[in-house]
Each structure stands twice: as structure tokens, then as C-alpha cells.
Amino acid sequence: MLAAVLLAAGAATRYGADKLMVTLADGRPILAAAIDALSPHVGCVVGVVGPQHRARAELLRARGCRVATCQQAAAGMGHSLAAGIAALPVCTDYLVALGDMPWLQAETVAQVVQYSRDNASSVIIAPRFQGRRGHPILFRGTLRAQLLALEGDQGARAMMERHAAQIRYCEVEDAGILRDVDRPEDLIGLSI
């Protein structure tokens, strides 16, 4: 089974409010846009939230996602990613995505998933737009133990450096793999 881990446990301190619940022009919260890009292409989505994120957890459940509460979310993305992996059974692949990326296109997720099927021997698959790596990143199930051991604020960065020779890049035409929301001005001109 292919499962998605949607990281949604950040404090959003630079935004000044709960950015993942900010409503877009189409009426969806930012987090919902991220869920909607992933859901059609994976067996399940587990959203990782902090213990204070009740509204995020409710939205995830309302959209058919599992919820993992990471008690150590404030300690960094590595803890959140490990909590998401722990909330899932052993899977063939794990697609790791960020909750604050409303520009990610569902077609791009489908492209990354298909690329993983066509390149079954690849250990890590990442989308790349104009030479820059983005999200979501697909990790094979063989990396589960390493993902479960993550901690701190670096997420899977060190793990990806260790496996750099085994990363394959799926070239996409979607700048949404690079864009996230950190501040209110990041939403200016957003046409979603």
C-alpha cells in the first residue's frame, strides 16, 4: 500500500495565525488543498498534528484522513515525520507531503506515484521543477526503520543525504512543489 504522511504539526509562528486553516479563494482551508492533492493517489493519508491543533485534526478526519498527534511536534519536523510513519502499518511506500503547500497539483502527485512504479528499484523519489527538488517525496517501505528513528528539526534531510546516490528525480512542470505558505503575503495572487 502507498500511504501519504501529511505534516501539519508546525506552530506557524511566522504567519501569526493558524495558517493551515486560512481559507483560500475557493473556500477550502490551505490544509484541505494539500489533502485534496494527495487523497486520490494514495491508499490513505495520515495527517500529523500537534496536541493543540484540534481544528486541524477535525478537518483531517472530515476529509477521510487518519490523524496522528505528535506530542513532540515542537521539537521539530523529524519527530512529526516519525509519528506519521508510526501511525501507519508497514507500507510499500510512504509519500511525505507538507500541509502548507496549497499550490501542489494533484496531477503532479499522480506523476510522482507513476514514476515510482516505473522506477521500482529507486529508494527515494522526489519531484524536481527547473532543477530544484520539492515535495512530496516518496520513500520506499524499506526505509521505515530509518524514518521511525527521525528526530529534531531537520526532518529527513540527513537521511536523504545518506541515500543521495539512490534518489531519482521526477521532472515536473509544477512550481507548486516548491511553494509553501510562511507569511500572509505568500498568499497574495493565489488563484486557488
Strand partners, 62: none
pLDDT at residue number 28: 96
How far apart CA 153 and CA 167 sit, in angstroms, is 21
Helix (H) or strand (E) holding 170: strand 167-171
pTM of the predicted protein model: 0.94
Distance CA 139, CA 126 (A): 9
pLDDT digits (tens, 9 = 90+) for 153-182: 877 888 899 999 999 999 999 999 999 998
C-alpha cell at 115: 514514476
Which amino acid does the sequence have at 100?
A: D
* pLDDT recorded at residue 137: 97
CA distance 145 to 59: 29
- DSSP-derived secondary structure for 97-151: EETT-TT--HHHHHHHHHHHHHTTT-SEEEEEETTEE-S-EEEEGGGHHHHHT--
Q: What pLDDT does residue 190 have?
A: 57
CB 164 within 8 A of CB 124: no
Contacts of 36 (CB under 8 A, 6+ apart): 28, 63, 106
Q: What is the pLDDT of residue 192?
A: 54
pLDDT for the residue 189: 63
Domain 2-185 has CATH 3.20.20.70: no
Compute the Cα dihedral for 9, 123, 130, 33 and give only its sign: negative
Q: Quote the distance between the C-alpha of residue 135 and its chain's center.
A: 7
Ranges of the chain whose pLDDT falls below 70: 189-192
* Predicted pLDDT of residue 99: 97
List the domain boundaries for the chain: 2-185
> Alpha-carbon distance 107 to 86, whole Å?
28
